[in-house]
Amino acid sequence: MASDQYDGGNSLIYFCPLLVQDQPIGILAVGKLGDTPYTDEDTQTVFAFATQVAIAMRNAQLHAATEEHNRRLALLHEISLALNSTVELPVLLTAACQKLVENCQVDHSGVFLFDDTMKYGEVMAEFPSQQTVGMRISLDGYAAAEIVITTAQPLAIYAAQHDHTLAKIRDMIRTLHIQSTLIVPLLIKGRVIGSFTLDMTSAQRHFESSEIELMQTIATQLAMVIDNTRLIERERTHIEQEFTTARQIQSSLLPTDVPDVPGLDIAGFSEPARQVGGDFYKLCRV
């Protein structure tokens, strides 16, 4: 039991370690007026009290950690539900932004995706709306984007209004009143395809390492959904093109003129039941 007494002038201060399983987590300082030394009984009493304080503190820490863990799981679940509720990319990205704002104590969130040439980025979604969706920004000279692309790591910016890495979009930062921002890269197979942000407009804020770690987990989930949705959209486009070609071929096989038979009115009509019909078309006399 390591402890010490300190003469503070008109008071005597007793320092006792706060121990949990013999591991110190802090120090309890107890003071009393006068210069009468602490007795062994006083020492035992203070040490017993310090032990109870240490246990209570550790229980509070464990409870807080459990609450934080549960909050993370709940947020991941909500994000997962939002991302799997639709295959329309703008809709699901907006839903994800909304969940981030509602659960991360931030004022705004947006998704910024790069084009295939990595020369431009476009705001694909945001919540709440600040009329920035569809805005295209050149990546040339956009230092914050270059850092995120190069490092593939989140970038937390405390003083967004004055940070040099955001000089490229300074006007937008000021128009939206963004005070602090966390830029989280979206990676697919090690390649950064864009980012999402957590923005503070009401006050400046430091983002904790635990928050950043959680956002990286969400970014992995979000990037996978974006990749899968794009794959579905490309496949859908390919199928629609094939159906269009099939319809054109089928239509080219149908007769364009009807026979001119005195005393008869002849007409033909073909309407596919779905995208492409499979029936023969034939004009005949009855």
pLDDT at 286: 47
Q: Which CATH number fits domain 86-234: 3.30.450.40, 3.50.30.60, 3.40.50.1000, 3.40.640.10?
A: 3.30.450.40
Q: Give all strands (DSSP E) within the chain, no chain letters.
A: 4-7, 11-20, 23-33, 108-114, 120-127, 136-138, 155-157, 180-188, 191-200
Note the pLDDT tens digit of each residue in 193-252. Answer: 999 999 999 999 999 998 899 899 889 888 988 888 777 676 667 667 777 777 777 777
Cβ-Cβ contacts under 8 Å for 188 (sequence gap 6 or more): 223, 224, 226, 227
Tokens of 5: 């007494």
pLDDT at 241: 76
pLDDT at 11: 65
Q: Which residues of the chain have pLDDT under 50?
A: 1-2, 286
pLDDT at 1: 46
pLDDT at 14: 76
In single-letter form, the type of residue at position 61 comes to: Q
Residue 68 CA to residue 239 CA, distance in Å, equals: 46
Tokens of 189: 């197979």
Tokens of 147: 């850092």
In the chain, which segments carry CATH 3.30.450.40?
A: 4-66, 86-234
Residue 239: half-sphere exposure toward Cβ, Cα within 13 Å? 8
Burial zone of 170 (CB within 10 Å; 0-12 exposed, 13-18 middle, 19+ buried): middle
CATH superfamily, with its number, for domain 4-66: GAF domain (3.30.450.40)
pLDDT at 76: 59
